[in-house]
Amino acid sequence: MIRRIPQARERGIPDATVARLPLYLRALNGLAERGTATVSSEDLALAAGVNSAKLRKDLSHLGSYGTRGVGYDVQYLIYQISRELGLTQDWAVAIVGVGNLGRALANYGGFVSRGFRVAGLLDADPAVVGDHIAGLTVEHSDGLEAVIRKRGVSIVVIATPATAAQQVCDRVIAAGVTSILNFAPVVLTVPDGVDVRKVDLSIELQILAFHEQRKVSGGPMMAEDWAGEAG
Protein backbone atom coordinates (compact mmCIF):
# COMPACT_ATOMS: atom_id res chain seq x y z
CA MET A 1 0.00 0.00 0.00
CA ILE A 2 1.23 3.41 -0.91
CA ARG A 3 0.98 5.79 1.98
CA ARG A 4 1.28 9.49 1.60
CA ILE A 5 4.03 10.82 3.76
CA PRO A 6 2.78 13.80 5.70
CA GLN A 7 5.22 16.52 4.79
CA ALA A 8 4.96 18.70 7.83
CA ARG A 9 6.99 21.34 6.09
CA GLU A 10 6.04 23.05 2.92
CA ARG A 11 4.68 20.31 0.70
CA GLY A 12 1.14 19.17 0.46
CA ILE A 13 -0.74 22.30 1.44
CA PRO A 14 -4.47 21.55 1.08
CA ASP A 15 -6.23 23.24 -1.82
CA ALA A 16 -8.74 24.83 0.50
CA THR A 17 -5.88 26.40 2.43
CA VAL A 18 -4.13 27.68 -0.68
CA ALA A 19 -7.39 29.30 -1.76
CA ARG A 20 -7.54 31.23 1.50
CA LEU A 21 -3.94 32.39 1.73
CA PRO A 22 -4.56 35.36 -0.60
CA LEU A 23 -7.40 36.35 1.71
CA TYR A 24 -5.12 36.37 4.71
CA LEU A 25 -2.52 38.24 2.75
CA ARG A 26 -4.96 40.99 1.92
CA ALA A 27 -6.15 41.25 5.51
CA LEU A 28 -2.54 41.43 6.68
CA ASN A 29 -1.72 44.16 4.20
CA GLY A 30 -4.63 46.13 5.53
CA LEU A 31 -3.33 45.74 9.06
CA ALA A 32 0.18 46.68 7.97
CA GLU A 33 -1.09 49.86 6.35
CA ARG A 34 -2.65 50.84 9.63
CA GLY A 35 0.63 50.23 11.37
CA THR A 36 -0.34 47.09 13.27
CA ALA A 37 2.74 45.13 14.28
CA THR A 38 1.25 41.91 15.61
CA VAL A 39 -2.13 40.29 15.34
CA SER A 40 -3.86 37.38 17.03
CA SER A 41 -5.47 34.57 15.08
CA GLU A 42 -8.81 35.80 16.36
CA ASP A 43 -8.39 39.31 14.98
CA LEU A 44 -6.83 38.23 11.71
CA ALA A 45 -9.59 35.70 11.20
CA LEU A 46 -12.15 38.42 11.75
CA ALA A 47 -10.49 40.65 9.19
CA ALA A 48 -10.31 37.84 6.68
CA GLY A 49 -13.84 36.61 7.29
CA VAL A 50 -13.04 33.10 8.52
CA ASN A 51 -12.99 31.54 11.96
CA SER A 52 -9.85 31.49 14.03
CA ALA A 53 -9.42 27.72 14.28
CA LYS A 54 -9.41 27.47 10.52
CA LEU A 55 -6.95 30.29 10.24
CA ARG A 56 -4.54 28.70 12.69
CA LYS A 57 -4.83 25.35 10.98
CA ASP A 58 -4.16 26.95 7.62
CA LEU A 59 -1.12 28.83 8.84
CA SER A 60 0.20 25.73 10.56
CA HIS A 61 0.63 24.19 7.11
CA LEU A 62 3.19 26.85 6.30
CA GLY A 63 5.15 26.48 9.51
CA SER A 64 5.17 27.84 13.02
CA TYR A 65 5.28 31.52 12.38
CA GLY A 66 3.33 32.72 15.40
CA THR A 67 4.30 33.35 19.00
CA ARG A 68 2.22 31.70 21.70
CA GLY A 69 0.62 34.18 23.99
CA VAL A 70 1.27 36.99 21.51
CA GLY A 71 0.10 36.30 17.98
CA TYR A 72 1.65 36.74 14.55
CA ASP A 73 4.12 39.37 13.43
CA VAL A 74 2.27 41.08 10.60
CA GLN A 75 5.25 41.85 8.36
CA TYR A 76 6.83 38.46 8.86
CA LEU A 77 3.61 36.64 8.08
CA ILE A 78 3.09 38.77 4.97
CA TYR A 79 6.49 37.71 3.79
CA GLN A 80 5.95 34.04 4.53
CA ILE A 81 2.60 33.85 2.81
CA SER A 82 3.87 35.84 -0.15
CA ARG A 83 6.80 33.49 -0.49
CA GLU A 84 4.56 30.45 -0.25
CA LEU A 85 2.28 31.79 -2.95
CA GLY A 86 5.22 32.66 -5.14
CA LEU A 87 4.54 36.37 -5.02
CA THR A 88 8.07 37.34 -4.17
CA GLN A 89 8.74 36.58 -7.80
CA ASP A 90 7.62 38.67 -10.71
CA TRP A 91 5.05 36.93 -12.90
CA ALA A 92 4.49 38.12 -16.42
CA VAL A 93 0.83 37.87 -17.40
CA ALA A 94 -0.70 38.24 -20.83
CA ILE A 95 -4.35 39.15 -21.25
CA VAL A 96 -5.96 37.83 -24.41
CA GLY A 97 -9.22 39.51 -25.36
CA VAL A 98 -9.43 43.24 -24.74
CA GLY A 99 -13.15 43.77 -24.53
CA ASN A 100 -14.81 45.32 -21.51
CA LEU A 101 -13.59 42.59 -19.23
CA GLY A 102 -10.05 42.56 -20.59
CA ARG A 103 -9.84 46.31 -20.06
CA ALA A 104 -11.14 45.98 -16.54
CA LEU A 105 -8.53 43.36 -15.82
CA ALA A 106 -5.72 45.38 -17.37
CA ASN A 107 -6.63 48.32 -15.17
CA TYR A 108 -7.17 46.23 -12.09
CA GLY A 109 -4.67 47.47 -9.54
CA GLY A 110 -4.57 44.25 -7.64
CA PHE A 111 -2.71 42.54 -10.43
CA VAL A 112 0.22 44.83 -10.54
CA SER A 113 0.51 45.27 -6.83
CA ARG A 114 1.21 41.65 -5.98
CA GLY A 115 3.92 40.16 -8.05
CA PHE A 116 1.96 40.25 -11.29
CA ARG A 117 2.85 42.36 -14.26
CA VAL A 118 0.69 42.68 -17.33
CA ALA A 119 3.25 42.01 -20.04
CA GLY A 120 0.91 41.94 -22.99
CA LEU A 121 -2.60 42.79 -24.17
CA LEU A 122 -3.74 40.94 -27.26
CA ASP A 123 -6.87 40.97 -29.35
CA ALA A 124 -7.94 39.59 -32.71
CA ASP A 125 -9.99 42.67 -33.59
CA PRO A 126 -8.01 45.17 -35.72
CA ALA A 127 -10.24 47.95 -34.40
CA VAL A 128 -8.88 47.35 -30.92
CA VAL A 129 -5.24 46.71 -31.85
CA GLY A 130 -3.21 49.83 -31.17
CA ASP A 131 -5.36 51.08 -28.32
CA HIS A 132 -3.47 52.23 -25.27
CA ILE A 133 -4.70 50.69 -22.06
CA ALA A 134 -3.06 50.81 -18.68
CA GLY A 135 0.19 51.95 -20.23
CA LEU A 136 0.28 49.17 -22.80
CA THR A 137 -0.50 49.00 -26.47
CA VAL A 138 -2.91 46.32 -27.60
CA GLU A 139 -1.20 43.92 -30.00
CA HIS A 140 -2.74 41.60 -32.55
CA SER A 141 -3.26 38.10 -31.28
CA ASP A 142 -1.34 36.74 -34.25
CA GLY A 143 1.73 37.54 -32.21
CA LEU A 144 0.56 35.62 -29.18
CA GLU A 145 3.28 32.98 -29.24
CA ALA A 146 6.01 35.56 -29.80
CA VAL A 147 4.81 37.68 -26.88
CA ILE A 148 4.72 34.66 -24.61
CA ARG A 149 8.23 33.59 -25.50
CA LYS A 150 9.91 36.97 -25.64
CA ARG A 151 8.41 38.36 -22.47
CA GLY A 152 8.53 35.22 -20.41
CA VAL A 153 4.78 35.05 -19.92
CA SER A 154 3.90 32.19 -17.61
CA ILE A 155 0.25 32.98 -16.90
CA VAL A 156 -2.34 33.79 -19.54
CA VAL A 157 -5.71 35.35 -18.83
CA ILE A 158 -8.36 34.44 -21.38
CA ALA A 159 -11.02 37.14 -21.63
CA THR A 160 -12.16 36.40 -25.16
CA PRO A 161 -15.64 35.41 -26.29
CA ALA A 162 -16.50 31.79 -25.54
CA THR A 163 -16.06 30.79 -29.16
CA ALA A 164 -12.41 31.83 -29.27
CA ALA A 165 -11.37 30.56 -25.87
CA GLN A 166 -10.42 26.98 -26.69
CA GLN A 167 -8.37 28.04 -29.68
CA VAL A 168 -6.47 30.62 -27.66
CA CYS A 169 -6.04 28.02 -24.95
CA ASP A 170 -4.52 25.51 -27.37
CA ARG A 171 -2.12 28.08 -28.75
CA VAL A 172 -0.81 29.31 -25.42
CA ILE A 173 -0.33 25.74 -24.23
CA ALA A 174 1.60 24.96 -27.40
CA ALA A 175 3.71 27.99 -26.60
CA GLY A 176 4.58 26.50 -23.23
CA VAL A 177 2.13 28.16 -20.86
CA THR A 178 0.78 25.88 -18.13
CA SER A 179 -1.27 28.30 -16.06
CA ILE A 180 -4.48 29.78 -17.43
CA LEU A 181 -7.11 31.98 -15.88
CA ASN A 182 -10.28 31.62 -17.90
CA PHE A 183 -13.11 34.15 -17.89
CA ALA A 184 -14.84 32.75 -20.94
CA PRO A 185 -17.97 30.80 -20.11
CA VAL A 186 -16.73 27.52 -21.52
CA VAL A 187 -15.02 24.42 -20.17
CA LEU A 188 -11.50 24.35 -21.56
CA THR A 189 -9.97 21.04 -22.53
CA VAL A 190 -6.30 20.90 -21.59
CA PRO A 191 -3.64 18.20 -21.30
CA ASP A 192 -2.37 16.99 -17.95
CA GLY A 193 -0.03 19.35 -16.22
CA VAL A 194 -1.86 22.46 -17.34
CA ASP A 195 -3.65 24.32 -14.59
CA VAL A 196 -6.85 26.13 -15.47
CA ARG A 197 -8.78 28.29 -13.06
CA LYS A 198 -12.12 29.64 -14.06
CA VAL A 199 -14.00 32.73 -13.03
CA ASP A 200 -17.59 32.68 -14.13
CA LEU A 201 -19.58 35.77 -13.44
CA SER A 202 -22.99 34.31 -14.17
CA ILE A 203 -22.43 31.21 -12.05
CA GLU A 204 -21.99 33.34 -8.96
CA LEU A 205 -25.26 35.10 -9.70
CA GLN A 206 -27.01 31.79 -10.16
CA ILE A 207 -25.79 30.53 -6.80
CA LEU A 208 -27.07 33.73 -5.22
CA ALA A 209 -30.42 33.26 -6.92
CA PHE A 210 -30.68 29.78 -5.48
CA HIS A 211 -30.26 31.08 -1.95
CA GLU A 212 -32.46 34.10 -2.58
CA GLN A 213 -35.23 31.85 -3.79
CA ARG A 214 -35.08 29.87 -0.58
CA LYS A 215 -35.32 33.00 1.52
CA VAL A 216 -38.29 34.62 -0.15
CA SER A 217 -41.26 32.32 -0.24
CA GLY A 218 -43.07 34.40 -2.79
CA GLY A 219 -40.17 34.86 -5.13
CA PRO A 220 -38.65 38.20 -6.04
CA MET A 221 -40.58 41.40 -5.71
CA MET A 222 -42.43 42.28 -8.82
CA ALA A 223 -41.04 45.13 -10.78
CA GLU A 224 -44.19 47.16 -10.87
CA ASP A 225 -43.25 50.29 -12.62
CA TRP A 226 -40.33 49.14 -14.60
CA ALA A 227 -40.52 50.81 -17.97
CA GLY A 228 -37.68 49.56 -20.08
CA GLU A 229 -35.75 52.41 -21.58
CA ALA A 230 -33.87 50.25 -23.99
CA GLY A 231 -34.62 50.66 -27.63
Partner DNA sequence: GCCTGTGAATAAATTCACAGCG
Partner DNA sequence: CGCTGTGAATTTATTCACAGGC
Binding-site positions for NAD(+) read 97-102
Q: According to CB under 8 A, which residues from 49 to 88 bind a copy of itself?
A: 49, 51, 83-88
Residues in the chain: 231
Distance of CA 55 to the CA centre of its chain: 20
Question: In this chain, which of 129, 155, 168, 169 binds a copy of itself, going by CB under 8 A?
Answer: 155
Task: Round to whole Å and give the CA distance between 38 and 44.
Answer: 10
Question: In this chain, which of 38, 40, 65, 101 binds a copy of itself, going by CB under 8 A?
Answer: 101
Residue among 1, 72, 3, 78 at smallest CA distance from 41? 72
Task: Round to whole Å and give the CA distance between 15 and 30.
Answer: 24
Which long-range contacts (C-beta less than 8 Å, at least 24 apart) are formed by 54-63?
Answer: 54/20, 55/24, 57/17, 58/17, 58/20, 58/21, 58/24, 59/24, 61/12, 61/13, 61/14, 61/17, 62/10, 62/13, 63/9, 63/10
Q: Is 197 in the site for DNA (CB under 7 A)?
A: no
Nearer to a copy of itself, 66 or 120 (CB): 120
The entry of a copy of itself, DNA, none that residue 126 binds, CB within 5 to 8 Å by partner kind: none
Question: In this chain, which of 135, 146, 167, 174 binds a copy of itself, going by CB under 8 A?
Answer: 135
Using the contact rule CB under 8 A, the part of the chain among 60-68, 99-107, 122-130, 164-172 near a copy of itself is 99-107
The entry of a copy of itself, DNA, none that residue 37 binds, CB within 5 to 8 Å by partner kind: none
The least distance separating DNA from the CB of residue 26, rounded to whole angstroms, comes to 17
Residue among 123, 127, 167 at smallest CA distance from 141? 123
Using the contact rule CB under 8 A, the part of the chain among 31-39, 48-56, 60-68, 122-130 near a copy of itself is 48-56
The entry of DNA, a copy of itself, none that residue 40 binds, CB within 5 to 8 Å by partner kind: DNA
